[in-house]
Amino acid sequence: MKLTGFIKEHNEFKEAKAFEELLGEASSLDYDVQKVIHYLRSGKLLLAWMGYFFDIKTKKPIAPDSYYTDGLWVWPAYFPYYLENYPLCSIDPDFLAHMIDKNFELTIDNNFEANRDRMEEELYNKF
C-alpha cells in the first residue's frame, strides 16, 4: 500500500506534506489534471469515519473523512478537491506515472478483496 495526497493539516502521517509544500511543486510529467481528478473520484472506498474535512484556507467543508484506493495507492477524499481548486497542488511523481501507465483508467485487480482487510488495518494504524 502506497499513500498519496495526504496533507499534514488533515492527517498527521509521516507520508503527509504540509499544505504549503504541496503548492507550486511542478511535475516533470505531462498530464491532464481533469483525468487525474476523474481517476481519484473513481477509486474504491477503503475506509470512512464520521466527520468532514474543511478547506485549509477557506474553512469551508469539502469532503467526508474517507479514503479511497485503486488497490495499490490510497488517497484521502479531499485530494481531488485540492487538485481542482488549487492549480499548483502537486502530485506524487510515482503515483502520476502509475496513472499514466494505466492510461488514467482505474481498475481494481481481483486480489483486492483478499487484501482489503490488511489495507484497512494498515491505514487505520496510521491514525
* Average pLDDT rounded to a whole number, residues 50-68: 96
pLDDT in tens, 93-127: 999 999 999 999 999 888 888 889 899 999 998 88
DSSP secondary structure letter of residue 90: -
Quick count: other Cβ atoms within 10 Å of Cβ 46? 21
In the chain, where the domains are located: 2-124
Entry pTM: 0.90
Q: What pLDDT does residue 110 have?
A: 80
Do residues 56 and 116 touch, judged by C-beta distance below 8 A?
Answer: no
CA distances in angstroms from 112 to 4, 12, 41, 55, 72, listed in the order given: 18, 26, 18, 31, 9
Beta-carbon-side half-sphere exposure of residue 30 (alpha carbons within 13 Å): 0
